[in-house]
């Protein structure tokens, strides 16, 4: 088994790490931007594909990854995992339908509530304590799902049914489809940028570079928010115009009491 993931602020990486450590401790975790990710599909019969929900849809980079490896999915057993800040509808189903088109069989789906990653919007922002409790609850759900798979061979099917499809479509996708229909060209770099290159190093799309001492975007952003959440000068925004809170999983590691 192998886990392949896209993660901007670390939520999805954490969930996948936790899931695999319970299900198959030897399983490798590979970032989608790594050159090893495509080869990992060919070398494994069972794959967990994990990514953040964006507007009840798949991030464009994940869609491209599925398409670009079209033939490699044939006969593979894929479990889809998505993390979300509030509502995902059929966040797993969107990838599952595409994977099935390429001949994969989808073994299950898990949609996990995690802290919101949109650093340049006030919407959905919670206190650090609340976010710690949210992470602890996600951990419990991961433990339960892994236990049911291991002991009963029972896979969760969250986001894969018809009702979830309707919820995702009418809840968000119809109104926000344009946001995930292509790579985003809206990355903004403010005058506070000092050209340190943190965003360049972190971008999974190699979309950012330094020109004349400042970061510039090439218009191929998958909206993972890694650059926004890690810029030391808070100089990068995407959907909003100001960084309210830099969100990163490490801030929300639950206290032992949250785990009860």
Ligand X SMILES: Cc1cc2nc3c(=O)[nH]c(=O)nc-3n(C[C@H](O)[C@H](O)[C@H](O)COP(=O)(O)O)c2cc1C
Q: Which is nearer to ligand X, 125 or 157 (CB)?
A: 125
Report the distance separating Cα 123 and Cα 119, nearest Å: 9
Which residues have a Cβ under 8 Å from the Cβ of 76 and sit 6 or more positions away? Answer: 41, 44, 45, 46, 47, 103, 104, 105
What is the dihedral sign for C-alpha 119, 247, 29, 156? negative
Q: Does 3 bind ligand X (CB under 6 A)?
A: no
CA distances from 182 to 33, 58, 177, 178 (A): 17, 11, 10, 8
Q: Which is nearer to ligand X, 12 or 230 (CB)?
A: 12
What is the dihedral sign for C-alpha 233, 131, 138, 117? negative
Q: Does 168 bind ligand X (CB under 6 A)?
A: no
Minimal distance in Å, beta carbon 221 to ligand X? 10
Q: Does 225 bind ligand X (CB under 6 A)?
A: yes
Applying CB under 6 A, the span of 31-39, 65-73, 84-92, 186-194 interacting with ligand X comes to 84-92
184-213 binders of ligand X (CB under 6 A): none
- Report helix, strand and coil shares of the chain as percent, to nearest 5: 40, 20, 40
Q: Which is nearer to ligand X, 179 or 233 (CB)?
A: 179
Q: Does 84 bind ligand X (CB under 6 A)?
A: yes
113-132 binders of ligand X (CB under 6 A): 114, 116-118
Q: Which is nearer to ligand X, 55 or 73 (CB)?
A: 55
User: Contact letters (x/-) for ligand X, 38-57, by CB under 6 A?
Assistant: --------------xxxxx-
Cβ(224)–Cβ(59) below 8 Å: yes
Chain residues binding ligand X by CB under 6 A are 7-12, 52-56, 83-88, 114, 116-118, 172, 223-225
């Amino acid at each position: 088994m192998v886990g392949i993931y896209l993660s901007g602020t670390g939520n999805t990486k954490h969930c996948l790490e936790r899931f695999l450590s319970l299900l198959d401790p030897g399983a490798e975790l590979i970032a989608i931007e790594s050159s090893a990710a495509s080869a990992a599909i060919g070398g494994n019969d069972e794959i967990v594909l994990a990514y953040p929900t964006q507007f009840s849809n798949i991030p464009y980079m994940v869609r491209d990854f599925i398409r670009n490896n079209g033939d490699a999915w044939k006969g593979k057993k894929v479990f889809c995992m998505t993390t979300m800040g509030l509502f995902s509808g059929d966040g797993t189903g969107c990838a599952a339908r595409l994977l099935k088109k390429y001949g994969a069989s989808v073994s299950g789906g898990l949609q996990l509530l995690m802290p919101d990653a949109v650093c340049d919007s006030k919407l959905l922002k919670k206190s650090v304590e609340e976010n710690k409790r949210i992470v602890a609850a996600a951990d419990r759900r991961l433990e339960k799902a892994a236990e049911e798979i291991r002991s009963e061979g029972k896979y969760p099917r969250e986001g894969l049914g018809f009702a979830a499809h309707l919820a995702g479509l009418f809840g968000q996708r119809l109104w926000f489809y344009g946001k995930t229909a292509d790579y985003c060209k809206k990355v903004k770099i403010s005058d506070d940028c000092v050209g340190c290159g943190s965003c360049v190093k972190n971008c999974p799309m190699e979309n950012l570079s330094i020109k004349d001492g400042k970061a510039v975007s090439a218009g191929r952003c998958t909206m993972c928010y890694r650059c926004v959440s890690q810029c030391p000068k808070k100089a990068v925004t995407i959907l909003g115009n100001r960084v309210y809170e830099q969100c990163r999983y490490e801030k929300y590691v639950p206290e032992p009491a949250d785990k009860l």
